[in-house]
Structure 1
Amino acid sequence: MEPILIGISGIGVMLFLLFWGVPVAVSMGITAFLGYGVLRGWGPSLALAGSVLFDKAKSYELAVIGLFILMGSFILHSGIASRLFDTLNRWLSWIRGGMVVATTMSCAVFGACCGSSLATAATFSRIAVPELLRYGHHPEIATAAVAAAGTQAVLIPPSALMVIYAILCELPVGKCLVAGFLPGALSAFLYMVTVLAVVRLRPYLAPKVARSFSWAERLRTLPNVLPLILIGAFILCALFFGWAGVTEVGGVGAFACLMTALIVAGPRKAHLEEASRHAGRQTAMILFIIIAAVWYSRFIAISGLPTAVVDWVAASNIPPYGVLAVVLLMYVVLGMVMDVIGMLVITLPLVFPLITKLGFDPIWFGVIVIKMSEIAAITPPVGLNVYVTKVGVGNMATIGQIFKGCLYFLVADIATLLILIAVPQISLLLPQYMAY
């Protein structure tokens, strides 16, 4: 059998296993072992498995994933989210839609620290939505703000997804992390503009003034957000100016989040043991997936399938942006039914060589792919963030109301995506001027 046909058959086997509920890492590992064994022999296939496991186990770049997850776990379990929302709410609730803007900003800051859009949506669906409804906001805007704003977590550094993308594509981790900052800030800004525009055009969605606070009440809450802002600023500046490597930055960030949790919540309420266990489980799962993904990508590479796809696209004379549109549409469809990590590890061995051959910048493409995962997370009929938010709010809103409200934010997401495609320099500006 031709190697290319073996590669195609391998993808079919992996999809079959996934369809029957086999975990992503196991499906990729079985496919890689069988495919590499058929092409190169069973001995080399086993040897490759051992070498990949050893090489990745001693990788400093992989260590940063665990540290970023640990940062988020400390923040997630310490109750800081409610303090963050309370602070921003006191500063913004004096304008129509201000509480909703406070929610989107809280989700952006919290999501940047915890790195998980699902965790952000689950947390703020219990914290922010009841408060928004209590002060007269419509369920559409109250729930959709949480479901949509939680997706900003995957772009703003420290982003575990950007680290995974960099490792899978063998790109500089620091540059990929820094590249997500301006697109993430743009996305957050357009979300806030969307909220203010929608509540002005449809006043029934939000009261004119939800609640007012004195300056003394506002100033007293500033210490609640200062540690998170300082941690985020340190991570970005340390990477940009080259003060430390990615792993060192992750270590300092994890320690800073630990100290913040202890100071703000106290040793008992910080739930350190639970946070550590959660981080350990998440890290082990991701490392297992990455190791299997590297093994799988080696099999796909030796099958010649990526080269064949590139040659076929070149011969078909499809415009580069036409190919990009098809790829992005594929990510929207996959993102509606798969988690982002699984989507990346399955598709990148084929998609990444094609995109780079067409002349697109690999770091810019990473930002675009991660942004597409945000869009998929709130796109009907299977927007994962929407269903997580529904679980959090219970009977306070219907699934239809949440999806309807998310349409406002989908407009902002599509606008952000088009801007990032039209102006790649937004993603590439900071990496170009990094100190290393």
Structure 2
Amino acid sequence: MIEAYATVVFLCVLFGLLASSIWIGLALMGVAWVGLELFTTRPAGDAMITTIWTSSSSWTLTALPLFIWMGEILYRTRLSQDMFRGLAPWMRFLPGGLLHTNIAGCTIFAAVSGSSAATLTTVGKMSIPELRKRGYPEYMIVGTLAGAATLGLMIPPSLTLIVYGVSINESIIKLFMAGIIPGLVLAGLFMSYIVAWHYIRPSERPAPEPAMSFGKMLSESRFLVPVLILVCAVIGSMYFGWATATEAAAVGVIGSLTLALFQGSLSFNTFLESLMGATRTSAMIALILMGAAFLSLSMGFTGLPRALAAWINALELSPITLIAALTVFYIILGMFLDGISSVVLTMAIVEPMIRGAGIDVIWFGIFIVVVVEMAQVTPPIGFNLFVLQGMTKHEISYISKVALPMVGLMLIMVIILVIWPELATWLPEKIISNQAR
């Protein structure tokens, strides 16, 4: 009975604070404070100080601001703009033409950014004007970009996977490796959608691109080489066990600064803007993680997660049924919260449930990222929708409608992960076995 009462109080206080437009991190702390004061005898102040310090001083968390900074450097220099020039010659032959640059560009930039918003802004800045100029349908330009930008949440270095790993105390490198194959499969689904459009609506195809010699194609590809080298350095150093996630992030920052310097697009103002942008984003995420850690502690003292897990176990749901229920739950939650907030807010309750059901936590990390990706393009709080609205001046309703097929493809990706869980678990297991030799 006390757990049911505590649940009602937690939810009322949480939604009350969120409705007041208070920062999410502070709202989580407020809920935790009320929970400790009402339902436990432990001093809330001492608990808050200890928990916040412990959660914010985690060594694993140091990878987060470094990866964010790497993405900021690429976003604010000419390196990102050169990607379209290097990609376009190779995409022009595919059914659907240069629309594939949205998918390929987001996939490549996701491998050096980790942020959906940064991926969307960077790739959109280079692809939207070019695709419009060539006569591609607006709904395809906007829709494919909205969906493809969510790859920044899955393909390493993923900020969401870092936050998830810190929340459940799991290896960041294993989670990063788990995201590579599913991320590429999802990118393949997005590209298949473009191919289908090409054949189903031939009247909407723009004029074919002018002929280009193979030598010219190779010459244009040189603009893509620096970013590809950076991707290989960051991911390869983790794959072969040469660097931890934090060390790989440092390699990425140094590499991106070096490339921008040699390219001639790194100025003092660019450096300062990238540093301050990374600081603001990192501080926001750190505050959310602090609040989530304090809330997890508070819920633990009230016994709410254990009671909820026991209730779920009493229902005797199969793992498949539980995953289906959690999919619906996270889609609804994602309509009102951003992805990172959804993860940290729910892990205290969801983690015991999935462990009790025998679900692999590495696999679940990839599952939750796919579902959280949908939250980026679903109204009313889909963050990618607002970014695209600022870039294209379209209404949110229009962007949501044209992005809907991409949400359907993400649901198909969830089904694929359930049928073939090895997509997420094979690579981490292979890396562990190789490093153990």
Please tell me the TM-score bracket, short chain as reference.
over 0.9
Aligned to 1:195: 194
Contact 2:110–2:157 (CA<8 Å) still a contact in 1?
Answer: no
Tell me the CA shift for residue 378 of structure 1: 2.2
Contact 2:36–2:42 (CA<8 Å) still a contact in 1?
Answer: yes
Letter in structure 2 aligned against 1:32? A
Give yes or no for the alignment of 1:136 onto 2:135. yes
Tell me the CA shift for residue 208 of structure 1: 5.4
Letter in structure 2 aligned against 1:111? A
* TM superposition score normalised by structure 1: 0.93
Residues 137, 398 of structure 1: CA spacing in aligned structure 2 closer, same or farther, 3 A cutoff? farther
Residues 275-301 of structure 1: CA distance to partner in whole angstroms, max 9, x if unpaired? 000001111111121111111101111
2:226 and 2:200 map into 1 onto residues whose CA distance is: 36
Aligned to 1:122: 121
Tell me the CA shift for residue 325 of structure 1: 1.1
Tell me the CA shift for residue 270 of structure 1: 7.5
Letter in structure 2 aligned against 1:238? S
Tell me the CA shift for residue 206 of structure 1: 2.6
Aligned to 1:5: 5
Aligned to 2:35: 35
Residues 68-110 of structure 1: CA distance to partner in whole angstroms, max 9, x if unpaired? 1111111111132221012111222244412001221001111
How many residues are treated as equivalent by the alignment? 433
Letter in structure 2 aligned against 1:410? V
Letter in structure 2 aligned against 1:104? I
Matches within 5 A, 1:349-360: 349-360=348-359
Q: Which of 315-324 and 138-147 deviates more?
A: 315-324
Give yes or no for the alignment of 1:423 onto 2:426. no
Tell me the CA shift for residue 398 of structure 1: 5.6
Aligned to 1:345: 344
Contact 1:85–1:102 (CA<8 Å) still a contact in 2?
Answer: yes
Aligned to 1:375: 374
Where does the alignment leave 5 or more consecutive residues of structure 1 unmatched?
A: none
Give yes or no for the alignment of 1:214 onto 2:213. yes
Give yes or no for the alignment of 1:71 onto 2:83. no
Aligned to 1:408: 405
Where does the alignment leave 5 or more consecutive residues of structure 2 unmatched?
A: none
Residues 410, 31 of structure 1: CA spacing in aligned structure 2 closer, same or farther, 3 A cutoff? closer
Residues 213-271 of structure 1: CA distance to partner in whole angstroms, max 9, x if unpaired? 33233222323222222222222222222112121111111111111222224332871
Could you say what secondary structure the match of 2:224 adopts?
A: helix
Aligned to 1:256: 255
Aligned to 1:316: 315
Contact 1:32–1:296 (CA<8 Å) still a contact in 2?
Answer: yes
Residues 175, 378 of structure 1: CA spacing in aligned structure 2 closer, same or farther, 3 A cutoff? same
State the 4+ residue runs in structure 1 displaced beyond 4 angstroms. 397-401
Aligned to 1:224: 223
Letter in structure 2 aligned against 1:23? W
Contact 1:97–1:208 (CA<8 Å) still a contact in 2?
Answer: no
Letter in structure 2 aligned against 1:163? I
2:42 and 2:316 map into 1 onto residues whose CA distance is: 39
Tell me the CA shift for residue 62 of structure 1: 0.8
Q: CA RMSD in A?
A: 2.1
Identity %: 27
Letter in structure 1 aligned against 2:316? N
Contact 1:108–1:188 (CA<8 Å) still a contact in 2?
Answer: yes
Matches within 5 A, 1:83-232: 83-207=82-206, 209-232=208-231
Could you say what secondary structure the match of 1:317 adopts?
A: coil
Aligned to 2:429: 432
